[in-house]
Structure 1
Amino acid sequence: MSNQLLPGHMTEMVITEPGGPDVLQPRRAPVPTPDDDEVLVRVGAAGVNRPDVMQRRGEYPMPPGVNQTPGLEIAGEIVAVGSNVTRFAAGDIVCGLTEGGGYAEYCVLPASQTLPVPHGMKASEAAAIPETFFTVWANVFHIGRAAPGDTLLVHGGTSGIGSTALMLAKEFGIRTIATDDGPEKCKAILELGAESAIDFREQDFAEAVLDWTDGRGVDIILDIVGGAYHERNIASLATDGRLLSIGFLGGEVAPQVNLLTIALKRATLTGSTMRSRAAHEKAVISFDLQAKVWPALTAGRCHPVIHEVFPLARAADAHRMMESGRHIGKIVLNVTE
């Protein structure tokens, strides 16, 4: 533990009951104490993610025993460390994936899910990294086995997940095509490194994908839509393709599943959530990111796209922006930056 004098209490934004954005309300709470394998961070900024919105609505509750305050990613200064922590010390500027509690002035997180902030990056940028980078790396690169020369379809290319996937794919030599709605978002998709953008309101994405790949289909699909896209996702896959389901904005149940089509394509259908992963699994992702992605961030590449930064007290407005679907990239809360 650090000998730094800390306040006894802090402000955090809590969910008073399931409901709309206005159920996010401030309260005073004790400053947490890190366990042996944790660090305590004075939060400079916290990322806002769709799981936070789903948690607020009562659709995605945190597991028992986990901090129920929303906020899955933060950046700031370490002010105390647990007795087993040797990689970090008080004064280090870090970002990391929390187990909840990010919408607060102080937050504890496992040291194994903590990473140094890339040189020159502000807290409001670094706080937008962990949740989407952990998710994309785990799915596209670990589960999806993406390799240079592969083709990747990203649904929701201007979302936090989508923009991260497009930047990392470009960094590692993967060709991409992405969907979204409207000319502004399609333009942003191309600027993020995709070779082609599909306005799903104007064009059938499966037809566009087959046209882009000369009828072959893509090797990997990163899907945040789910059930409503299932049949066209399968049609868009190449032989031995991998469909990675990480969101269900279009429903959790596919209305029609043709098992023969899946078998003939030797397709792999899988999915994951970051919340359900064990600590040692998240640690592997964290170390992999630092080794393989952090050099790009330090060099100024793959920086998260920030749509808007709200003060912590306006967390409800940040959620309204998320639910509007108007944003391109990440939404962030300024806590003490």
Structure 2
Amino acid sequence: MTTTRTRPPDARATHRGRRRTPDAHSFPTRPYDLVKEFVIALVGVVVLTLALAIAFGSPDERAISLQDWARTAPNDVVTTAAAELSGDSTTASYGPPYNTASDGQTLLGLPLQKLAGVTYPIDAAQDFVITPLQSVAGDPALSLALRRWRTASDEQRTAWAGAYVTALGAAPDSDPAQVASGDYGPVPTLATSYQKVAATGGLEQMVSNGSFYGFDPTRRLLLLADGTYLEDQARARSLGGDQWGMMNETGNYPGQPWLWLYTFWYQIPPFSTSDNADALVWGLMMVLSLLLVLLPFIPGLRDIPRLVPLHRVIWRDWYRRGHGPDAPRT
């Protein structure tokens, strides 16, 4: 006696000539118009974005210009100009990629900045101060000061500017009008004339590396950062370096959320107290990124999802219905 075993009717169903195989873990399906859903979502997001933009406006602060700086904090501009001339500013003493004033930061004994070399040369005194002042016409006192500066030796220039920076620091509110008498050479005239040029907006293009349209803001940003005004504005908005860094958006938020892992390390020792913090944090992030890429190949780390089955909590409904790799096969 022989028997014939037949398959369920749906198992014989074909689609374009191909036989469907029953699946013990199959689930209900229904038609889905992906294009229609995408268009609806896109239109909804666009309308919502426009409505919120009209209602609340942009949270971005207006960019700080050199003219704003000179008009709002004139004493800071004078002090910064003197520091550029003396070589004491951040840019003048930074090292590569701007100059050779220092070796820069190191990582495991490797002078990373020095190895990279000077790729964006900047002579802070000449490019930031002297060159813009040379374009000013009709000021005999300034012309005389520039002539005296050019004919002096490097040692004499440094002595003049360094003494004036010290005197400005000792004056009330760094006010040039209250600086004690001293041998400052032409530096006071150069620094105060520089502030006047900046207040008229004359520095915006002259500190742009010869670019008429100013597409490269590097030099303007470096000059602005050499003063204290930019940092003061950042700290007033809780955006200082020890306040989780700067961002475009305002408010009491700790910088861009996607940068939290990077900026976090700056807040804890030894990074928060190291002169090589930038290099150390960069090296640590490279190691962490490499661990993430190689995670599937590292014994122990790759077993974390199995040892800590968080996915079972997320997919608890699926496992509750008897699915999953441990479910009995039929």
TM-score range, shorter chain: under 0.3
Compare CA radii of gyration and give the structure with the larger one. Answer: 2
Greater strand fraction, Structure 1 or Structure 2: 1
Greater helix fraction, Structure 1 or Structure 2: 2
